[in-house]
Amino acid sequence: MIGRDISVLLDKELKDLWRDRKTLITTIILPLVMLPLLGIVSLALIAQQPVNVAIVDLDSTRSTDPLLNLTVDSRWLVDNLTYHLHKYGYNVLLANSTQVVSDPDVDVVVVIPEGFSRNATSLKTTAKITVYRKAGYQSAARAESTIHSIVSVFSRNLSNYKLKALSKLAGINATLSALRNPVQAYTELVTVHGVPVSIEVELRNAFARILVLALSFVVTPAASYVIDGIIGERERKTIELLLVSPAPLSHIIYAKMIAATILGIIAAIFDALGLVTYIVLASISYGANIGLIIDYKLLIIHAITAFFTILATITIALPFITRTRGIRSASNVAGIVTTVGIVFFFTGFMIDYVKLSPEILYPLYIIPYVHSILAIQTYMLGYIYRSLLHLLFLAIVSIGLLVFTTKTINSEKLLIAPP
């Protein structure tokens, strides 16, 4: 009997949902198209930002150190900078004076001072270059970073040459790395159990963090669906006929919650697919092997987590939703609950919850979203059982909350909007 009337109600809910093409399109097509599109547009726009770099060569001389047999011409650096900056898509102009710094159209100015060549060839001095960057532009900061890289390579080549020449003069046999970097640190990537792993694991972890963040996008459509299913039915005058049926109120609510969660799951799947598409596109452009990054077991864990996260969210919002006057106030109430979830998912994107001390973490266990985050984070660290335990806890809490909150609602409260 219990299963029968819920399945009849659910069948009606799903039929109604399936025919609500606008809701389905916004739930399925939007993440699938928008997430990759957002990535493509961002990449395209980054490439479209014109950054003007001016190079001022106040030296324009060539200097030679006879001892080292080393010659440096400031124009070599100018040529290097011009070639590479052009290659990365920056506009380069050569200027004669530092006055160009005050030109608002110029974002970055590289000033090669007088005496550059002499200082660069010397064994006693350092040749200094000044880079003026206009504050507030991300694109200018990227150009500045490119300039520092080019200068660094130029400097390293000079240094290598000097070291070789000095070794030759001293008649010693030394390797360049021993002179330049006598102490070096290496990082070996390992799992929590110390098993060596490749860099792809880091990429997978980054993907998992994005999935935690993606939970933010799935709670909102589900909450909207519940609001529409309860308050919307009251406003559309369809709920009274349903409430007078022999189906208990709890079963009517369960069917609506399951339908909303199914919608949330659809949203979660297509959000994840949208993210995967975005990563595939990005990896194709960088020539990476996407198969190494996507973990299909993780996607399943994510889908289950999303299911119970949505259920917990709409269940927490339910008693408040049913006591509101209309869709607008119900949306505001649901907005508060979903915002709490979104805040936690953002922290889950940035914070390793598993690393929190027990004094902080254990009190947080009362918040269902913490288990959503931990289910994904512990799985990524290889703690499969802990991940399943958090999922189980999330399932028990969300189902328990559903049973409890449904008991706080009665047909009178649903029928008659509060004054």
* Residues at the site binding another protein, with contacts judged by CB under 8 A: 1, 4-5, 8-9, 11-12, 15-16, 19-20, 236-238, 240-241, 243-248, 410-412, 415-416, 418-419
Nearer to another protein, 246 or 358 (CB): 246
Nearer to another protein, 8 or 179 (CB): 8
Calculate the alpha carbon distances from 8 to 231, 265, 327 in Å.
21, 21, 26
187-196 as b/e, with b when 16 or more CB fall inside 10 Å?
A: eeeeeeeeee
**C-alpha triplet 369, 373, 379: angle, nearest 5°:** 145
> Quick count: other Cβ atoms within 10 Å of Cβ 301?
23
**Minimum CB distance to another protein, residue 405 (Å):** 19
**Minimum CB distance to another protein, residue 196 (Å):** 56
Nearer to another protein, 9 or 314 (CB): 9
Nearer to another protein, 188 or 412 (CB): 412
Nearer to another protein, 255 or 266 (CB): 255
The residue behind tokens 């389905």 is: 24
**Minimum CB distance to another protein, residue 307 (Å):** 25
* Cβ atoms 298, 58 nearer than 8 A: no
Query: Which DSSP string do the residues of 134-194 spell out, in sequence order?
Result: -TT-HHHHHHHHHHHHHHHHHHHHHHHHHHHHHHHHHT----HHHHH-SS------B-TT-
**Minimum CB distance to another protein, residue 331 (Å):** 21
> Quick count: other Cβ atoms within 10 Å of Cβ 157?
11
Nearer to another protein, 29 or 244 (CB): 244
Q: Quick check: helix, strand or coil at residue 71?
A: strand
**Minimum CB distance to another protein, residue 14 (Å):** 11
The pair phi, psi for residue 108, each rounded to 5°, is -135, 135
* Distance of alpha carbon 372 from alpha carbon 306, whole angstroms: 8
Nearer to another protein, 16 or 202 (CB): 16
**Minimum CB distance to another protein, residue 416 (Å):** 7
> Quick count: other Cβ atoms within 10 Å of Cβ 351?
14
**Minimum CB distance to another protein, residue 262 (Å):** 16
**Minimum CB distance to another protein, residue 270 (Å):** 22
* Distance of alpha carbon 220 from alpha carbon 345, whole angstroms: 13
* Distance of alpha carbon 116 from alpha carbon 387, whole angstroms: 60
Nearer to another protein, 15 or 407 (CB): 15
The pair phi, psi for residue 239, each rounded to 5°, is -80, -30
**Minimum CB distance to another protein, residue 226 (Å):** 17
Calculate the alpha carbon distances from 76 to 59, 151, 237, 281, 408 in Å.
12, 11, 80, 38, 79
Nearer to another protein, 194 or 419 (CB): 419
